[in-house]
Every structure is written in structure tokens, then in C-alpha cells.
Amino acid sequence: MVKGRVHSIESMGLVDGPGIRVVVFLQGCALRCKFCHNPDTWTSNGGEEYTPEDLVKKIERFKTYFASSGGGVTFSGGDPLRQPEFLLEALKLCKSKGINTCLDTSGYGFGDYDEILKYTDLVLFDVKHFTKDGYKNITGMEIYESLRFLEAMKKNNTKMWIRHVVVPGLTDGEEHLKKLKAYIDTVPNVEKVELLPYHVLGVNKYEVLEINYPLDGVKAMDKEITKKYQEELFK
């Protein structure tokens, strides 16, 4: 029997896809993004073990809240694609019960992406960077796996919301964001682009885990400036 490891479950998410959503944070991530605020999700053996059936039963409890809002479930992480067999079974069960499904992912996982995307209504795709060097600098990894997932989404005609974290001194320049827009304009089925201002809310987790914080001393991104970029470039 397939089992998966779940870091946590949020029952009333309002920012992870359309409507009210149950957000399931799965354990495991290969990337080490400089601005990550969930280092406690990196390891694949943390959290609590679930079967897909038990997890979907739990999700179903909140159906009265999310169904009427056009919501559903969002599988996040970590990166949900690091547990592809478990994710696939959970997605299939959700679809059989009429639950709208969404993945929040950077596309850096394992498995048969085509099969997973068959049961996915929307992907919140985290574009860490659009160049090889920029991606490696931010994540510590190569861009190719993320591009493989992007190709699968193109092939499967998957609806996308693109997300990009705006970090002072790293991804906050107007020139960078204009190039990002040019890159996104080549991607089909993008319904929305969300610029997310970098914040420092996860810094204390690094202290607890005794890990050095890569952006130590970098202040949170100005929300108004981020909003201005959002309105000017990504209406």
C-alpha cells in the first residue's frame, strides 16, 4: 500500500488557488532556495504518515466550506512531486469525489508527470528563475527537471498560475522582471502571474534547526513596490 508523509494541513487556505482550499503540505524538497521559509519540509522522512484514503477522508470533511466557494484541495510542500505515487493516488481519489485539485510546485520531482497532470485542474508553478545560472544561484540545483515538468504541462494543456518571489538584490530589478514577463509570454495556458514579496517569517525556523540562513541581513521586500511591478508588468 502506498503511504505518504504529510508535514501539515491547512483547512481554510485563501491564497493557494481559487476559492477556499484545503492545503496539504507534503514532506520533501530537493531545492535549497535562498529565500525558503519552510526548511522543516526539506527532509522526506518528517511529518506524519498517511494513506491516500485517510488523507482524502480528512480533506472531504471540509467539502461544505470549499465546494461552494469554487475551491478544493491544493497539494503543496516541500514539493508534492517528490512523492509522486502517493500524490497520484490522492489526486485520483479527489477527482472521483468531485474535488477540484491544484498543485503548488516548482516542478522538481520524480515520476510520470503526464499521469499526475491528468488529475490536476490547476498548477501554481513557482518560477524560481528563467536562466540556468540564475536558477542554480537561487536553488543550488540545475534547471532541467523544472523544464521537464514545464514541457509536460504544455503537452497536457495544463492551466497555470505562475508565481515568482521578488527578493531585494536578487530578483527585484525592473530589467529582471521585464525579462521574466518575456519568458512567461512564451508559455501557454498561463491564467495569472503572482509576484510574491520576499518575507522573513521563516528565519526563526533556521535558528531552531541550526541551519545558516542564506539571506541573513536581507530585509523583507517592500510590498508596495512589488504591487507596482505587478500592476505595471503583469496586469
**Confidence class for position 235, pLDDT limits 50, 70, 90:** confident
Task: Give the domain range for residue 179.
Answer: 4-233
The model's pLDDT over 91-112, given as tens digits with 9 standing for 90+, comes to: 999 999 999 999 999 999 998 9
State the average pLDDT over residues 189-210.
93
90 pLDDT higher than 90: yes
Which H or E run contains 38? none
Instruction: Give residue 67's pLDDT.
Output: 86
Please report the pLDDT score of residue 177 as a whole number.
97
β-strand partners of 6: 26, 48
The predicted model scores a pTM of 0.95
Domain count, the chain: 1
Which CATH number belongs to the domain containing residue 99 in this structure? 3.20.20.70
Q: Identify each DSSP E strand in the chain by its residue range.
A: 4-13, 21-26, 48-50, 72-76, 100-105, 122-126, 160-166, 190-197
C-alpha cell of residue 54: 485517510
**For range 117-133, the mean pLDDT:** 97
The residue count of the chain comes to: 235
